[in-house]
Amino acid sequence: MSSTTVSGTGQVVASSTAGRIGRVLMWVAAASAAAAAASAVGVVVESEAAVRVVETWRAYGLVVFAGLFALLAWRPQAYRGVWELVIFHKLALTVTAVGYAVAGDVPGAGQILVWDGGLSVLLVVAYLLCRGWRSGARGSRA
């Protein structure tokens, strides 16, 4: 059974079982990104000077994505364009990893393919379940 409610901002919020499943998926994504960010601290500290900036950038990126995923889990229809941006980023990384894997000369391409590919699938499924395309729909106040 599906129903909708209107929040205090006039935003239509899905309260269906599908929407709840999508939100749970996004909380899983947020927790996973937060855990990856926490584990990246050791990588940054132990990294060679030549790659420390890149590892720091990656660690901060994980924190940002944990926050974005949490915002989408909390209010999946409140952030116009955020769904599409995070899906684009993860799909772009997945496609790039495929290219690197085909070339065969980039260490870690397979790992990127598995993690970001899996996350891409999770994001698209959550987007569909939460009806993310309705984010900030015309006539609503975000």
Which residues are CB-neighbours of 10 under 8 A, at least 6 positions away? 139, 140, 141
Q: What is the pLDDT of residues 2-61, one digit of tens each?
A: 444 444 444 455 569 999 999 999 999 999 999 999 999 999 999 999 999 999 999 999
Indicate yes or no: pTM above 0.85.
no
Render pLDDT for 105-132 as a digit per residue (tens, 0 to 9). 888 888 989 999 999 999 999 999 999 9
The CA-CA-CA angle for residues 60, 38, 80, to 5°, reads 50
